[in-house]
């Protein structure tokens, strides 16, 4: 989601845990494998792979599992081949939705995505129908406590960041995709990150009426719960009060 609800949405997603550790590991292995396949197995030259490996380490995934997934993706070990796919559609209130998926069976995945859209009142779109509204960005989150906002802003911009906003007690720093690794490396020497990841940011937000929020959130949660879906992004602008009450 976008607008002032961005951080609330990210926080909600991170607080929502999978039913089992095995499910978390499966998603992380898919991400590492696909990142390695698309951008090579060298972590320092592949921003997506570096983020995926760090997520694996944060989840206490065994290093052997991380390394096997990386080598499989690069074709250095045999294994399941995952496809990196994007699905698009619309939710309640005209909100654009874009889904990032890694799957070994795209027929199954597209059927599950279409079913979720139909069941919860959304509309699955054609390829390109909403993707033009979003751009891949790097996102770094720093707790605002005990750090100076002006100094963080100055350091972030000098490091090559695109923008920084203060939101919900956090400083959220955005970078261009190509600058993500270099900005992370510079800022990591000065600050402790609460999180850092690659994300999709919408150009423009759509204000969601209060009476549409609950329906929209049910659709988003259903899409997030699909095994083959790794990330769900929207251009929804939702008031915090409406999220708290849904």
* Calpha distance 110→103 (Å, rounded): 10
Query: Quick check: helix, strand or coil at residue 98?
Result: strand
C-alpha angle 154-172-187 in degrees, rounded to nearest 5 = 50
* Calpha distance 232→130 (Å, rounded): 13
Question: 3-73 has which fold?
Answer: Arc Repressor Mutant, subunit A (1.10.10)
| pLDDT reported for residue 69 | 87
Which DSSP state fits 191? -
| pLDDT reported for residue 21 | 62
Question: Nearest Cα to 104, choosing from 27, 200, 197, 21?
Answer: 27
* Calpha distance 174→160 (Å, rounded): 10
CB count, 10 Å around CB of 90? 19
Confirm if 63 and 53 have CB atoms less than 8 A apart: no
Question: Nearest Cα to 205, choosing from 121, 96, 88?
Answer: 96
| pLDDT reported for residue 3 | 40
| pLDDT reported for residue 12 | 52
| pLDDT reported for residue 202 | 92
* Calpha distance 231→27 (Å, rounded): 11
Look up tokens 């292995």; give the residue.
29
* Calpha distance 142→198 (Å, rounded): 15
Residue 41: what are its φ and ψ, rounded to 5°?
Answer: -90, 0
Residue 175: what are its φ and ψ, rounded to 5°?
Answer: -130, 160
Give the global pTM.
0.74
- Low pLDDT (below 50) residues in the chain: 1-5, 7, 10, 17-19
Strand pairing category for 195-202 and 134-143: antiparallel
| pLDDT reported for residue 236 | 92
Alpha helices in 16-84 (DSSP H): 21-39, 47-58, 63-73
C-alpha angle 214-132-161 in degrees, rounded to nearest 5 = 90
């Amino acid at each position: 989601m976008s607008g002032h609800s961005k951080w609330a949405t990210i926080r909600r997603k991170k607080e929502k845990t999978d039913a089992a550790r095995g499910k978390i590991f499966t998603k992380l292995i898919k991400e590492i494998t696909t990142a390695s396949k698309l951008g090579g197995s060298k972590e320092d030259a592949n921003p997506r792979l570096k983020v995926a490996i760090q997520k694996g380490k944060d989840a206490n995934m065994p290093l052997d599992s991380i390394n096997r997934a990386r080598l499989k993706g690069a074709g250095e070990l045999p294994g399941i081949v995952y496809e990196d796919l994007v699905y698009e559609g619309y939710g309640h209130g005209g909100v654009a939705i874009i889904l990032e998926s890694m799957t070994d069976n795209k027929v199954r995945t597209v059927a599950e995505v279409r079913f979720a859209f139909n069941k919860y009142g959304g509309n699955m779109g054609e390829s390109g129908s909403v993707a033009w509204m979003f751009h891949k960005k790097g996102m770094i989150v720093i707790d605002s406590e005990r750090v100076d906002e002006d100094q963080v802003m100055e350091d972030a911009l000098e490091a090559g960041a695109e923008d920084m906003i203060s939101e919900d007690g956090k400083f959220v720093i955005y970078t261009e995709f190509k600058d993500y690794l270099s900005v992370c490396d510079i800022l990591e020497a000065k600050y402790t990150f609460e999180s850092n990841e690659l994300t999709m940011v919408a150009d423009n937000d759509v204000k969601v009426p209060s009476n549409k929020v609950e329906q929209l959130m049910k659709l988003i949660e259903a899409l997030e719960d699909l095994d083959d879906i790794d990330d769900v992004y929207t251009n929804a602008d939702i008031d915090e009060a409406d999220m708290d009450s849904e």
